Amino acid sequence: MPRSPALVCCLLAALAALAASQADSEAVIPPWAEFKLTRQGAEGTVKIGCILPFSGDNAVKGNAARNGIIMAINAIAAEDKFGLPKLSFELSCKDTVCNANNSAAAAAELKKAGVVAVIGDVCSSASLAAKDALAPILLMSPSSTSDKLTIAGDNFLRTVAPDRFQSRILAVLVRGNTTTIKKAIPVVLVYEANSYGQGLADGFAVAYKNLTGRIRFNRTVTPTNAKSIATELANSTATRVVIATNNNTWVAEFLAAGAANPTFRPAIFAGDAQLNPDLPSLVAGLDGSPALLSKLQATAYNQGTGTFRAKYKAFTNDSYTGHAAHAFDALNALMIGYAMNSEFVLPKAISLQSAIKANIKAGVSGNIKFDATGDLIPDNTAYQSIRYVGGKVVLGPFLPLPPAK
């Protein structure tokens, strides 16, 4: 329902759309700190924050997410979507490098600056730290998946499903097709004891055992043991290893060390953190043969519809869309929540109650629907598998979600 009191004549609307689309074509990606879309005759300005990694290992994801937010803002302005009145937008982004302290400090700054909501962070540990610094302003993450972020009534929402679902999907991927494979193969579980790795490993262990699988042994990732774990596995008779860490430098070292060892046999399974377009170059940079990458299969979140991927490519000339699609849907969900706030006075924060009700059927990253804690409710459009072929990410089929408990 449009909130703007003015009845807008078709011609004016057409002119406005034209002006907005001209603004779009000028909206080449500016230096990352600020993005402004100023519209003549706007009823107000929506200030949105973003806390993302624009440097370090996760920069590709942070940049993609920011581009996705900008695309969503441009699309809303072009069409005045969701019954929003004519608005200008200011997006203020801070580079957190996925570090918890940086992220919390950036969140506090944005709160002071009066943003209505913030999109971020990429890493769960950073989101965990930032949400409290930001409260009661909402934080919506396009990619933080730790189960520790499932907290009823807090100010955190996300457009990806939590690890407890991903770990079940990962177990299904590792277990294989039970029609053709009768016996589950014992696996070695290698995980990092942080929010991401521990959550994924614990969930995987439960789900894999539930699928009649067995954990042979597990190892914990430390900053210096990538090579020794690869060597230990090459020495063992293990045929499957599951990796749960979001440190791709570690994974690259592990893959390089494994490739250098002719007796390294296991197939490698991993979670969404290893869907990283930088991974091939990280491995190659270590003088390791990237050959082991072809043994890696990972679960991934919906990487965006074909239409979105094409639009993203046209906008950025970049082909990595995963975080862009989830951030695009996050901005839309927040703006739906913004439009739903009962008293529409600018500027104001978006309320948890209205954001939770935001419902996007067939968003660019799948169906968006939140549960009472602000978590995405996943369905069979939530996950797909990926592989690396010739150093490039190849998207696999959607992975069906096993039945809930």
Ligand X SMILES: *[C@@H]1O[C@H](CO)[C@@H](O)[C@H](O)[C@H]1NC(C)=O
User: Does residue number 237 form part of the binding site for ligand X (CB under 6 A)?
Assistant: no
How long a stretch of residues is the chain?
A: 405
Sign (positive/negative) of CA torsion 319, 320, 322, 324? negative
- For ligand X, which residue of 231, 305, 351, 373 counts as binding (CB under 6 A)? 231
Can you tell me the distance from the alpha carbon of 380 to that of 367, in angstroms, rounded to the nearest whole number? Answer: 9
Contact range with ligand X by CB under 6 A, out of 64-72, 78-86, 242-250, 325-333: 242-250
Q: Taking Cα atoms as reference points, which of 357, 349, 329 lies closest to residue 47? A: 349
Phi, psi of 121 (to 5 degrees): -85, -175
Which residues lie below 8 Å from residue 269, measured CB to CB, with a gap of 6+? 170, 173, 174, 187, 240, 241, 242, 243, 296, 297, 298
User: Does residue number 210 form part of the binding site for ligand X (CB under 6 A)?
Assistant: yes
- From the CB of 379, what's the least distance to ligand X, in Å? 15
User: Does residue number 55 form part of the binding site for ligand X (CB under 6 A)?
Assistant: no
Q: Identify which of residues 287 and 343 has a Cβ nearer to ligand X in the complex.
A: 287
Q: Identify which of residues 281 and 359 has a Cβ nearer to ligand X in the complex.
A: 281
User: Does residue number 218 form part of the binding site for ligand X (CB under 6 A)?
Assistant: yes
Q: Identify which of residues 159 and 245 has a Cβ nearer to ligand X in the complex.
A: 245
What CA–CA distances, in Å, run from 222 to 136, 191, 226, 234, 256?
A: 35, 9, 8, 19, 16
Q: Identify which of residues 231 and 289 has a Cβ nearer to ligand X in the complex.
A: 231
Looking at residues 160 to 189 of the shown chain, list those that interact with ligand X (rule: CB under 6 A): 168, 177, 179-180, 189
Q: Taking Cα atoms as reference points, which of 78, 81, 75, 70 lies closest to residue 29? A: 70
- From the CB of 290, what's the least distance to ligand X, in Å? 17
User: Does residue number 241 form part of the binding site for ligand X (CB under 6 A)?
Assistant: no
Q: Identify which of residues 157 and 286 has a Cβ nearer to ligand X in the complex.
A: 286
Q: Identify which of residues 66 and 326 has a Cβ nearer to ligand X in the complex.
A: 66
Q: Identify which of residues 347 and 402 has a Cβ nearer to ligand X in the complex.
A: 402
- Determine how many CB atoms are found less than 10 A away from the CB of residue 18: 11
Site string for ligand X, 317-346 (x = CB under 6 A): x-----------------------------
User: Does residue number 285 form part of the binding site for ligand X (CB under 6 A)?
Assistant: no
Strand ranges (DSSP E) for 111-233?
A: 117-120, 138-141, 156-158, 187-191, 215-220
User: Does residue number 93 form part of the binding site for ligand X (CB under 6 A)?
Assistant: no
Q: DSSP state, 370?
A: B
What CA–CA distances, in Å, run from 110 to 35, 37, 118, 128, 130?
A: 14, 18, 8, 16, 11
What CA–CA distances, in Å, run from 292 to 107, 171, 266, 360, 395?
A: 39, 21, 10, 39, 18
- For ligand X, which residue of 2, 41, 223, 285 counts as binding (CB under 6 A)? 223
Helix (H, G, I), strand (E, B) or coil at 134: helix
Q: Identify which of residues 63 and 247 has a Cβ nearer to ligand X in the complex.
A: 247
Contact range with ligand X by CB under 6 A, out of 11-19, 22-30, 228-236, 385-393: 228-236
User: Does residue number 286 form part of the binding site for ligand X (CB under 6 A)?
Assistant: no
Which positions touch ligand X (CB under 6 A)? 99-101, 168, 177, 179-180, 189, 191, 201-202, 205-207, 210, 215, 218, 223, 226, 228, 231-232, 235, 247, 249-250, 253, 317, 402-405
